[in-house]
Structure 1
Amino acid sequence: MSGSERPVLVYDGDCGFCTSSVRFLERHVPVQATVVAFQFADLDALGTTAERAQHEVLWIDRDGRVSGGAQAIGRMMTAAGGLWRVPGTVMRVPPVSWAAHAVYRLVASNRHRMPGGTAACMLPPDRRPGSHT
């Protein structure tokens, strides 16, 4: 994906919590990226895999560098600029990055229990209703 015009934010479009979270970000953070559900993304062209996209949100920089989880959210916030740059940068630097990773994993592991989450969020992607994989 080297040399893309915009970075790409890839999320799980079958997960209600993930979709709600992305819509919140689009409304409140000036996301300077193409936002796409992994089920509809050309993951090979983006330099990643379905296995990784099922596990965590991904940020693919214009240069093709792939970041996942809390690092992806931090890079997205940094790219948004303005005041968003500060927490985006801070959350990618140890020891804050360690805590951000732990919180991200906790939320991701329990996304079916989160607001907007559904039982489909806890199923393996190939067993979700209306599965695209």
Structure 2
Amino acid sequence: MSNAAPHHAGQRTVLAFDGDCGFCQAAVRQIQTHAKPRTEAAAWQTLPPELTEPHLQRLDREVLLFDGRRVRYGGARALADYLGSSPARPYQVAGRCLQLPLISLVAHLIYRGVAKNRHRMPGGTAACAVPRPNH
């Protein structure tokens, strides 16, 4: 999923998703295939522990968009920014629309519902369940 070496994660913008979740992997792969975002995506498990460890509880529940070493956005807002980084105008517009006040609220609610039930989604497995007892 990621094109860059994990040890450089602290210096770039990267969407961190759950690499143990089949649904998450499939969703990111679909966005990459169609929108071809400029922002990287990587399984958080492949990123440096010093970057991810302070955010493990969030990473088990939502995607996080890291800007260098800080979290810029999480959840639906992170996906909107990721989608908006596409070079294709329709995906840029979609990403911006997902950030509009009322639409962002609806996107947030949908994201929460999907994230909570991702183990029931296509490609989901028991490993996708939130929260997982081993973290």
TM-score norm. by structure 1 comes to: 0.81
Correspondence for 1:101: 108
Which residue of the partner structure matches residue 130 of structure 1? none
CA distance in 2, matches of 1:78, 1:25: 11
CA distance in 1, matches of 2:127, 2:53: 26
Residue 123 (structure 2) pairs with residue 111 (structure 1): no
Cα distance change, pair 13–65 in 1 and its aligned pair in 2 (3 A): closer
Q: Structure 1's 120 and 83: CA in aligned 2 closer, same or farther, altered over 3 A?
A: same
Query: Partners of 1:46 and 1:120 in 2: how far apart?
Result: 19
User: Counterpart in 1 of 2:72?
Assistant: 66
Alignment of 1:40-51 (within 5 A): 40-42=46-48, 44-45=50-51, 49-51=55-57
How many equivalent residue pairs? 126
Q: CA deviation at 1:75?
A: 0.4
- Cα distance in 2, alignment partners of residues 43 and 96 from structure 1: 34
Aligned equivalents of 1:113 and 1:8: distance in 2?
Answer: 26
* Amino acid aligned to 2:37: V
Worse-matched range after superposition: 64-73 or 117-126 = 117-126
For structure 1, the residue ranges without an aligned partner over 5 or more in a row are 128-132
1:89 and 2:96 matched? yes
- How many angstroms does 1:8 deviate by? 0.2
Alignment correspondent of 1:120? 127
CA RMSD, 1 decimal: 2.4
**What is the CA–CA distance in structure 2 between the aligned matches of 1:20 and 1:90, rounded to whole Å?**
23
- C-alpha distance after superposition, 1:95-126 (max 9, x if no partner): 11000000000100110110000122116445
Q: Normalising by structure 2, what TM-score?
A: 0.80
Instruction: Pick closer, same or farther for the CA change 1:86–1:123 going to 2, 3 Å.
Output: closer
Q: Residues 62 and 115 of structure 2 are in contact (CA less than 8 Å); yes or no, is this contact kept in structure 1?
A: yes
**What residue ranges of structure 2 are gaps of 5+ in the alignment?**
1-7
What is the SS of the residue equivalent to 2:101?
coil
Q: Corresponding residue for 1:79? A: 85
